[in-house]
A and B are shown apart, each in its own frame.
Chain A
């Protein structure tokens, strides 16, 4: 573990709780995974409009469920969210990752994904 926080020194009320120090790696993994999930959803939403092949691929995820390409977009984005979280957890679980920097990267990915799933944006590629 490389994290060294001093929470009980900063906030005396925490002293009686006897909290052990924890690395920021797992927290950073969760934050970045959320950004990755949103970005993948936005990216697939735009790619679905740009390519007939990708549209067909995404459409095939629901079989005859009637959900259409939204099925592929949401399944793959969910896999990206949990998959990236699991991978980052394994890589960072004992590390003191810079959580501020990770948050800004995750926020950037989240904003980019949100823009890519805004109808006037992705419909411009149709």
Chain B
């Protein structure tokens, strides 16, 4: 059982941080959803708010860690141009059934040498690499709102709903990034 350094980083970026994000989101959403008048006692509010602070801030920190590792560590391995020989942009990919030392994942997908794969890059990766960055912005702002207003959110259903919308938006952005990341890594893994 062995993982290369690159494989390890893709696991950290997608699986480890992705799982933590999902757990923190689930906890944060459940906590906010039930933060309603009549459902919790004063003591219960204190206990629940502490959990909510941790959950939302963990979600924000993990979102930043995910996009930073994805953009600055994993993405350059994906997009490096290796296949060009002379005027032939995809010469290094001829005959390939997966990315190689002369055919990066991006080269491989765009070359269509092993099926119709171009849209995985032109749509999937192009969407994922941008929209995922909405997640840390939204999660950080939502975590701040939870911390700033604290238990006051119980008395302000509209504001609580706004924070939920932001958390769900962060999750949706991360889900698009995560789903396309998983599919693209299946079709054209980073080696």
Contacts and interface: CB of A to CB of B under 8 A. Distances in A.
Dominant secondary structure at the A interface: helix
A17 B42 contact: yes
A58 interface: no
Given A13-B37, A70-B71, A74-B133, A31 B145 contact: yes
Interface residues of B, number: 43
B51 interface: no
Interface residues of A, number: 47
A58 B43 CA distance: 51
A7 B158 CA distance: 13
A33 B165 CA distance: 15
Contacts of A22: 148-149, 152
A31 B155 contact: no
Contacts of B62: none
Nearest to B169: A110
Interface in B114-130: 122-123, 126-127, 129-130
B46 A17 contact: yes
A45 to B, nearest CB: 5
